[in-house]
Amino acid sequence: MCYGTAMSRSQRLLDLVQVLRLHRRAVTGAVLAEELGVSLRTLYRDVETLRAQGAPIDGEAGVGYVLRPGFMLPPLMFSEEEIEALVLGSRWVSERADGMLGKAARNVLAKINAVLPDDLKANIEASGLLIGPGDPVPVGDAKLATIRQAIRSENIIQIAYADENGANTHRAIWPFALAFYDRVRVVVGWCELRGGYRHFRTDRITALYVAPKRYPRRRAALLKEWRTVRGIPDQY
């Protein structure tokens, strides 16, 4: 790491905490300064700043430093890149998801903004990462809050569904995922009628009822099995 003039002090302190965590034994200030790309004087000053904020850093200049386990710095949990990712993702959700999820995304940004140091807070307020105009909210988004709740609670949902040809069927499905595309939303679930994994566009669900009965398998197991069947990597 090598810090330019634009690098915030909060970012530098966060990186120091992360570097200390990588070293299980005491490491000299010279080694830390080299890894962080700062002067030894700056390193010593930053160590004292972290100690003043409650960081349990043992050691001293000329001997070495070690960070005892379990220390967290809530206001410094995010790097500048991570903050940009959170801002961009939250803005996308606020513009593209259903109303309740959009409101939650805006609340997330407000909560993050409330605990960040001033220099990182300015990054949120002046972020140049914008979400471009998209299509109108897709038909079927009014059902998303209900579907998301059913996924969280692992409840069976009963739906009336019209396929691409307009043919209607009634299904009982075990919903475990919800995919957001620009123009459609898709529920992924195990279909009792077909005895397999199926995908259902929310704009084709004409009626929806959440049954009080939970489905017999855990959501995580269904998701893992579906990914294996579809050949989808775990990060998606």
Between the alpha carbon of residue 83 and those of residues 10, 87, 88, the distances in Å are 12, 6, 9
pLDDT in tens, 192-203: 999 999 999 999
| Residue labelled with tokens 């299509």 | 135
Low-confidence ranges of the chain (pLDDT < 70): 1-8, 72-77, 119, 134-140, 234-236
Distance from C-alpha of 73 to C-alpha of 116, rounded to nearest angstrom? 10
- Domain covering 9-73, topology: Arc Repressor Mutant, subunit A (1.10.10)
pLDDT for residue 136: 60
DSSP for the chain reads: ----TTS-HHHHHHHHHHHHHH-SS-B-HHHHHHHHT--HHHHHHHHHHHHHTT--EEEETTTEEEEPTT---GGGSS-HHHHHHHHHHHHHHHHHS-HHHHHHHHHHHHHHHHHS-HHHHHHHHT----PPP-PPPPTTGGGHHHHHHHHHHTEEEEEEEE-TT--EEEEEEEEEEEEE-SS-EEEEEEETTTTEEEEEEGGGEEEEEEEEEEPSS-HHHHHHHHHHHHT--TT-
pLDDT for residue 5: 39
Phi, psi of 7 (to 5 degrees): -70, 130
Distance from C-alpha of 93 to C-alpha of 1, rounded to nearest angstrom? 32
Tell me if 189 sits within 8 A of 173, measured CB to CB.
Answer: yes
pLDDT for residue 110: 82
pLDDT for residue 197: 96
pLDDT for residue 137: 62
The ranges assigned to domains in the chain are 9-73, 80-125, 141-230
Domains 9-73 and 141-230 share a fold: no
pTM for the structure as a whole: 0.64
Class of domain 141-230: mainly beta
Distance from C-alpha of 115 to C-alpha of 120, rounded to nearest angstrom? 10
